[in-house]
A = this chain, B = another copy of it.
């Protein structure tokens, strides 16, 4: 391995036939290598694209040995090419091997040989040389940029809530616990209580961050560490925040479909724009639909995965299920004024998949205490949260959206492990 200053002059996507004769320095990975006569044809890839390098035996002899996926630096001149796949090529004056890749590699980074997802995750860094995988994470980058752009336009302030929390908020099931300087602490499952508190001063807040759920689920849609997109807004109710969510989803599909054309092509999935406005069906309507198909559900029964898969038959796209029975919802959700058995709540579904859950929140502390007791939670354990409700807590509403689930819908992929770099689940803690 020779030590050289890199001084890359161009990304591969920035060179073209108009630059004929210009000297460039490129850096990248050897994707393929063929010797024909006295010439070696090397295809070089960087993060932006791929090009062809022509090496004479004279130039090649300066390096002992080279393997596919090794990292090289190439100095050369742009010239016309006869190759059909390229617009131009580089006649190399010099090549340096900066890092040699072993042979064979544990997975095929070109994706010609398909590897099981577990093998790809075990070699995630190498998997990122697979253009499909890299494209997923480039799209994820654009999705995040789109979400934040829309939140900022809608006057939401970005916040960061604590992930290490001193008490088991929201009931305490499925929390990871840790020792915090001798005290018992937990990893936050959501920013729920903190984001509600913040509406008292910042009115509209959002957070995009990792949260933690110690749930022993083994499905393609559960993760122990996941990215949650959260908002909370003063002076809004559940209809208002459903509108924010619908806008966000529609605009993000639009943004990605316009800004990630190359990535969609590589993945082989053209993003199809959903139609707005999204359908809204109430919980009671969903129950009727299900009972017409012999589900034998009664008011108050939760909708299980099996039920949602039946509903998906009629509603394969985005839709809201609204007005859930209050007893199925967390203590902070507001009841409906005209029917306190129901709540101002919703889930955003894509077919059977729940993407988001939200609602109007209670802002009257007395009502919250009653709800806590009804759910066998001790109001005293929530005293630090509840005190904020005596300080002028505005009416507010909000939701949480699972980023990985949204990405699977945007990308047409059926496993959340494909859209998170290093997934964590009950079996997977490494790499």
Chain A residues packing against B (C-beta within 8 Å): 1, 3, 5-6, 8, 11, 27, 29-30, 46-47, 69-71, 98-102, 105-106, 109, 123-130, 133-134, 137-138, 140-141, 144-145, 148, 152, 155, 157-167, 176-181, 183, 185, 187, 194, 197-198, 200-204, 209-210, 212, 214, 216, 224-225, 227, 234-237, 337, 363-364, 384-385, 387-395, 420-422, 424, 426, 429-431
| Contact of A198 with B128 in the complex, beta carbons under 8 Å | yes
Contact with A388, one of B126, B133, B179, B420 (Cβ below 8 angstroms): B126
**Given that A99-B364, A337-B3 are known contacts, is A137 also in contact with B159, CB under 8 Å in the complex?**
yes
- Within the complex, the shortest CB–CB distance from A109 to chain B, in Å, comes to 8
| Contact of A200 with B421 in the complex, beta carbons under 8 Å | no
| Contact of B134 with A202 in the complex, beta carbons under 8 Å | yes
Q: Which residue of B lies closest to A404 (CB)?
A: B160
| Contact of A391 with B125 in the complex, beta carbons under 8 Å | yes
A389–B105 Cα gap in the complex (Å)?
12
What are 25 A-B interface contacts by the 8 Å CB criterion?
A1-B364, A6-B235, A6-B395, A27-B234, A71-B392, A99-B393, A101-B392, A124-B197, A125-B198, A125-B391, A126-B388, A130-B201, A144-B158, A145-B148, A160-B420, A164-B224, A164-B424, A166-B429, A166-B430, A176-B178, A177-B179, A178-B179, A181-B214, A181-B426, A385-B431
A363–B181 Cα gap in the complex (Å)?
36
Q: Which residue of B lies closest to A46 (CB)?
A: B203
| Contact of B210 with A163 in the complex, beta carbons under 8 Å | yes
A201–B404 Cα gap in the complex (Å)?
20
A194–B70 Cα gap in the complex (Å)?
20
Given contacts A29-B394, A162-B421, A185-B429, 16 further A-B contacts (CB under 8 A): A46-B203, A69-B392, A98-B395, A99-B363, A125-B198, A125-B388, A133-B201, A137-B202, A141-B158, A145-B148, A145-B158, A162-B424, A164-B212, A164-B225, A177-B179, A209-B209
Q: Which residue of B lies closest to A185 (CB)?
A: B429
A163–B106 Cα gap in the complex (Å)?
26
Contact with A201, one of B101, B128, B389, B391 (Cβ below 8 angstroms): B128
| Contact of A125 with B200 in the complex, beta carbons under 8 Å | yes
